[in-house]
């Protein structure tokens, strides 16, 4: 049996911002269900829902206070079950964000844990005594600024938090914690979910000797909000014990039919590719992983090639998941604007390129409209890092503003109330009802349809062609079809020589005549031929 997730296209929905049906300004499950036809018409295979579970919403649901309850902000359990049913009727699989590495400080487990040092859950979180001078147990940093340790006067100890102080880390060295977490996952699989997106999948275990991290060899900041990147983060995350837990989780999902798990590897650079390989090796760990490798500012042929070749080398039997946009990073047409002829040209190039990559593909709501990052003022912000570090840090709100459905409707059709983040004119201008023939949404549909019809774009065989920047080119080969995919990652036109007869197929923004391929700025083409096309530059 072919697993549904191989070569699938997964559409990420950020529930707060997709569709508000009850008028409170925050998206909800009923709204998602009503708008699922839009997602299905794109031709995607599945939806990933960012967190919908009970939470005080200090980090927009990534601080769970009850793993077994739907947050009333989004709706009810019956409404979630109706969403699953409707998705399946439309041929869509559905996966949810599972935030397992930490909880909210409002979770009953943490309330009990912090009450004393000898209660039944005293060791369910990562507690440690102060150093003799009262300072934190290690030098580890929090992603959201300051130390990764918060002192609790009731216990007279510090607890670990990689993010907000209100997001304490669970102690996965405790077998009871592991069993409790597996039980929460089983609960949702029994409700009919098709799998999980595992948040911060490499953060589950910490060094049980509580050793401090050494300084980084190079010192770029991972996030501008903190000093995280100034350490070589080897003791606070990505520990070898992680693999054992992933195998337990896989054993659980293997009890069900056709379940998929994709893990978010919270690492940067080559280490992220290494972990993707480790976490997907064999058949007893994750089905897929994705990293932030393609979610940063890097936009070069060498970078994209190194990501794909690095994964193929590090995990020859693994399966990658690639995306260029999500709820944590600026939208790609803004992030890569310096390389673009226009926002539309970048939107088309990014789509054509992404859909030609091997493995499973993720797209983020609004990406199919060519949405740009929303410019917000301080009084409009909700994201904790931005509120703390403004104006040096703009935060993540700019990519989380509401989906735009109807240009001239209040709040572009998202809500009849005041939306939790504003809908602004540049985004409303790209609403779904403005996406006519030839628009970005139509382009996405066409490219998705072509990918699904192309034997060469299935599987993982990818052979890169040595060409100078800014040209990204590679062969995708199947027994029934040979494609040569070529992309101009610059706003300037260029020409290449081709060595054999070939035909442009699928999405095209190029011109082929008498053995010369002309690519305009941000141009692209898939060339079909009897054998791989060789390219050269004069």
500-528 pLDDT per residue, tens: 999 999 999 999 999 999 999 999 999 99
d(CA 140, CA 136): 9
267 among known catalytic residues: yes
Catalytic residue selected from 21, 97, 150, 199? 199
Of the listed ranges 289-293, 347-351, 378-382, 494-498, the least confidently predicted one is 289-293
Please give the average per-residue pLDDT across 466-470, as a whole number.
97
Other CB atoms within a 10 A radius of the CB of residue 108 amount to: 11
Which burial class, exposed, middle or buried, applies to 206 when counting CB atoms under 10 A from its CB (0-12, 13-18, 19+)? buried
Catalytic residue selected from 7, 150, 267, 343? 267
3-state secondary structure of 5: coil
Q: Does domain 9-101+175-200+245-385+435-452 have CATH number 3.60.21.10?
A: no
Q: How far is CA 537 from the centre of its chain?
A: 36
Tokens of 40: 């299905």
d(CA 495, CA 136): 59
As a whole number, the mean pLDDT across the chain is 95
Cβ neighbors of 303 (< 8 A, separation 6 or more) are none
pLDDT tens by residue, 12-53: 999 999 999 999 999 999 999 999 999 999 999 999 999 999
**Which stretches within 370-475 are classed as H helix?**
384-389, 425-428, 440-453
194 among known catalytic residues: no
Q: Is 524 left (phi over 0), alpha (psi -120 to 50) or beta?
A: beta
d(CA 188, CA 196): 9
pLDDT tens by residue, 93-142: 999 999 999 999 999 999 999 999 999 999 999 999 999 999 999 999 99
pLDDT tens by residue, 255-277: 999 999 999 987 766 788 888 88
d(CA 326, CA 293): 12
Residue 46, φ and ψ in degrees, nearest 5: -155, 165
CA atoms within 13 A on the CB side of 47: 29
d(CA 441, CA 159): 47
The whole-number pLDDT of residue 220 equals 53
Which burial class, exposed, middle or buried, applies to 154 when counting CB atoms under 10 A from its CB (0-12, 13-18, 19+)? exposed
- The candidate with the shortest Cα–Cα distance to 60, out of 45, 68, 69, 71, is 71
d(CA 195, CA 39): 18
d(CA 93, CA 393): 36
In DSSP notation, 39-81 reads HHHHT-SEEEEPP-EE---TTTTSS-SEEEEE-TTT--HHHHH
The whole-number pLDDT of residue 225 equals 52
Beta bridge partners of 152: 157
Count of residues in the chain: 538
Tokens of 424: 């602004």
Cβ neighbors of 82 (< 8 A, separation 6 or more) are 29, 33
Query: Which one is predicted more confidently, 269 or 225?
Result: 269
pLDDT tens by residue, 175-223: 999 999 999 999 999 999 999 999 999 999 999 999 999 998 765 554 4
Tokens of 329: 């990073």
CA atoms within 13 A on the CB side of 165: 8
| Structure confidence at residue 344 as a pLDDT band (50, 70, 90) | very high
What CA–CA distances, in Å, run from 507 to 228, 317, 355, 403?
41, 30, 10, 26
Please give the average per-residue pLDDT across 220-231, as a whole number.
64
d(CA 435, CA 441): 6
Answer whether 0.85 is exceeded by the pTM.
yes
3-state secondary structure of 267: coil
The whole-number pLDDT of residue 222 equals 46
Please give the average per-residue pLDDT across 305-314, as a whole number.
89
Tokens of 162: 């990689």
3-state secondary structure of 427: helix
DSSP assignment letter at 458:
S
Please give the average per-residue pLDDT across 154-170, as a whole number.
97
- The candidate with the shortest Cα–Cα distance to 262, out of 291, 289, 292, 295, is 289
- What ranges do the domains of the chain cover? 9-101+175-200+245-385+435-452, 459-536
Please give the average per-residue pLDDT across 444-463, as a whole number.
93
Q: Max Cα separation, the chain? A: 80
Query: Which one is predicted more confidently, 385 or 66?
Result: 66
Cβ-defined contacts of 213-220 (< 8 Å, 24+): 213/138, 213/139, 213/140
Please give the average per-residue pLDDT across 214-238, as a whole number.
76
Other CB atoms within a 10 A radius of the CB of residue 100 amount to: 25
Domain spanning 459-536: which superfamily? Golgi alpha-mannosidase II (2.60.40.1180)
pLDDT tens by residue, 142-158: 988 889 999 999 999 99
Is the model's pLDDT at 346 over the cut of 70? yes
The whole-number pLDDT of residue 219 equals 55
d(CA 166, CA 156): 17
d(CA 426, CA 428): 6
Is the model's pLDDT at 224 over the cut of 50? no
């Amino acid at each position: 049996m072919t697993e549904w997730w191989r070569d699938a296209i997964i559409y990420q929905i950020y529930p707060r911002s997709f569709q508000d049906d009850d008028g409170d300004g925050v998206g909800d499950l009923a709204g998602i269900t009503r708008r699922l036809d839009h997602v299905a018409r794109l031709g995607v295979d599945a939806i990933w829902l960012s967190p919908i579970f009970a939470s005080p919403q200090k980090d927009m649901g990534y601080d769970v206070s009850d793993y077994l309850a739907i947050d009333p902000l989004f709706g009810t359990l019956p409404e979630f079950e109706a969403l699953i049913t409707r998705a399946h009727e439309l041929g869509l699989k559905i996966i949810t964000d599972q935030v397992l590495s930490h909880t909210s400080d409002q979770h009953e487990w943490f309330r009990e844990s912090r009450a004393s040092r000898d209660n039944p859950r005293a060791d369910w979180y990562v507690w440690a005594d102060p150093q003799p001078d009262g300072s934190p147990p290690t030098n580890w940093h929090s992603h959201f600024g300051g130390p990764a340790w918060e002192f609790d006067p009731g216990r007279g100890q510090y607890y670990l938090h990689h993010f907000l102080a209100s997001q304490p880390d669970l102690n996965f060295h405790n077998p009871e914690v592991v069993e409790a977490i597996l039980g929460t996952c089983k609960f949702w699989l029994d409700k009919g979910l098709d799998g999980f997106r595992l948040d911060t999948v490499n953060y589950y275990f910490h060094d049980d000797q509580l050793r401090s991290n050494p300084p980084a060899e190079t010192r770029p900041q991972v996030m501008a909000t903190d000093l995280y990147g100034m350490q070589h983060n080897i003791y606070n995350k990505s520990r070898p014990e992680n693999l054992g837990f992933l195998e337990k989780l896989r054993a659980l999902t293997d009890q069900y039919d056709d379940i998929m798990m994709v893990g978010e590897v919270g690492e940067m650079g080559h280490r992220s590719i290494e972990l993707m390989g480790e976490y997907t090796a064999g058949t007893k760990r994750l089905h897929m992983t994705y990293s932030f490798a393609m979610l940063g500012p890097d936009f070069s042929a060498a970078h994209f090639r190194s990501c794909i070749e690095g994964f193929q080398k590090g995990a020859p039997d693994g399966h990658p998941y690639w995306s260029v946009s999500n709820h944590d990073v600026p939208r790609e047409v803004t992030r890569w604007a310096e390389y673009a002829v226009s926002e539309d040209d970048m939107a088309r190039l990014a789509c054509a390129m992404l859909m030609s990559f091997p493995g499973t593909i993720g797209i983020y709501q609004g990406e199919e409209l060519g949405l740009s990052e929303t410019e917000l003022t301080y009084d409009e912000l909700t994201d904790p890092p931005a509120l703390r570090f403004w104006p040096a840090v703009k935060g993540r709100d700019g990519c989380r503003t509401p989906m735009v459905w109807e240009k001239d409707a209040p709040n572009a059709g998202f809500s009849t109330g005041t939306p939790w983040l504003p809908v602004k004119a540049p985004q409303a201008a790209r609403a779904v009802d403005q996406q006519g023939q030839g628009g970005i949404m139509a382009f996405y549909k066409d490219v998705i349809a072509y990918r699904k019809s192309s034997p060469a774009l299935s599987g993982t065989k990818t052979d890169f062609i040595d060409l100078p920047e800014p040209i990204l080119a590679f062969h995708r080969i199947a027994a029934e079809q040979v494609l040569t995919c070529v992309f101009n990652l610059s706003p300037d036109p260029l020409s290449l020589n081709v060595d054999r007869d070939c035909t442009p197929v699928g999405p095209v923004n190029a011109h082929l005549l008498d053995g010369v391929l002309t690519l305009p700025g941000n141009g692209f083409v898939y060339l079909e031929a009897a054998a791989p096309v060789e390219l050269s530059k004069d």
